[in-house]
Structures are given as C-alpha cells and as structure tokens.
Amino acid sequence: MATKTFKRPDGRKVDETRPMQAKVGVVPNADGSALFSFGDTIAIAAVYGPKKMHPQHQQDPEKGTLRCRYNMISFSVDDRIRPGPSRRSTEISKITEWSLEPSLLIKNYPNMVIDVHVNILQANASTRCAGINAAAMALAHAGIPMKNIVSSVSIGKLDKNLVVDLNKDEEDWEEGEGSTDIPITMTPNGEITHIQLDGRITKEQLKEGIELARKSTKEIYEVQKKALKDSIKT
C-alpha cells in the first residue's frame, strides 16, 4: 500500500510519534493534574472533584457526571483564537467526555460531578489527542476509581501512506490524495472509546489505520503509566 519512497516532512518513521512528555501534578490547586505533549503540541489538564453537582437539577441520582472542557489558549496558534467556547471546542469537549467515561467507575458518584479542564498551551495538530491523554492521567492522579487509562493518537493518511501522530505540516498535506486525519482513543485492551475521521479513505485502509492506532496507543499508555508511577516514587 505505502509508497516506498515516502518520507515524512520531519523525518519520522510512519509509526513513530513525536517525542512525548508526560508529567503529573502540574497544577497544585487541582485534585489531579497532568501535562502531556506530542512534540510542540502541549496540553495540560486539571481535575476538580468529585463534588456535588450544581445546579441541583443537573444531578443524576443514578451515576456521577463527567464534565470536560477543552479550550485552546488564545496564543496557542498562529492566528490568535478568540477566547471563549466555539462550535469546535464544544464538540471536542463532548468527544473528550465520551473518550474518558468508559474508563471511569462513575457509577460510584451519584449526584456528583467530576470537572476536567483541558487547556492547549501550544498547538501543532493532534491537540484533542494530547488533551485526552493529559485528562486521562489527571483523572488517575486525582485518585478517581478507574478501570484503566485511555490513550489517544491521531492516525493520518498522507496521499496513500498511513502514519501516526500528525503534525500541522502533515495535516495540511496536499499532494496526491491529500491528508486524512483519524483521531482514535483506546483502552489498553484495545477497545475504542473514540474515533473521528476527516478526509477520504476506503474501508480497508481505515481498518489498517485502526490496527496502527492499537500499536501506537500501547506505546502512549506506557508513557502515561510511567509518569504516574514516577510521581509516587520520591
């Protein structure tokens, strides 16, 4: 499938993510917090809660509520972003909730809410994936009972070639079939909690992309796990 001469703009191998950095406890005020970066894409996340849900009418007596907010810092990109929620950020916030919720034992917290605030400090594509990775670590750091930690990566198709962890140059790829962006979030067992796609791809290639994500999310999971373990070693 892949063309032999294909080279990624920054010289990475097709299945190689940018250098990852993971750290917990970056916001001392929060109940849990974490930083996760893919190269120049840096996300921080903070967890507040579980706490009583207000307003009261939003309380769910059957289970707790996970409430995520994804927000890009105004100077995280070339063209300044107007502060405040947009249609895009509203959607990504919900996607982040959906990505994380299957890993949480949220049933234990009726009438409560867990707030997760994700901020993108610096963006070079794959921001929602970095945000989800940071948020998953922050939830664990906050001591929320969880079944596991989810890990997120963007799979890209540049012309005909599948790659992992798209950067901005790759997102804007125009040669051949152009760029297809497929952010995927998985549990360590390979269950998919989130998938999106923009671009053009066949069913068979997509299936291949999902397998690639499986491999890559395993590596990301190890990075997240190590950061969490290191934080309690001291």
What x-and-dash track marks residues 47-86 binding another protein by CB under 8 A?
----------------------------------------
Query: Which of 14, 98, 208, 231 touches another protein (CB under 8 A)?
Result: 98
Query: Which of 45, 129, 182, 212 touches another protein (CB under 8 A)?
Result: 182
CA distance 169 to 165: 11
Question: Closest by alpha carbon to 43, among 20, 9, 66, 14?
Answer: 20
CA distance 1 to 160: 7
Question: Closest by alpha carbon to 225, among 132, 165, 148, 147?
Answer: 148
| Least distance CB 209 / another protein (angstroms) | 11
| Least distance CB 38 / another protein (angstroms) | 21
Binding-site size for another protein (CB under 8 A) equals 31
SS3 call for 91: helix
Q: Is the peptide bond before 50 cis (omega within 30 degrees of 0)?
A: yes
CA distance 37 to 54: 32
The answer to the question of residue 122 lying near another protein (CB under 8 A) is no
Query: Which of 59, 195, 219, 225 touches another protein (CB under 8 A)?
Result: 195
**Residues making contact with another protein (CB under 8 A):** 87-88, 90-91, 94-95, 97-98, 101-102, 182, 187, 190-203, 206-207, 210-211, 214
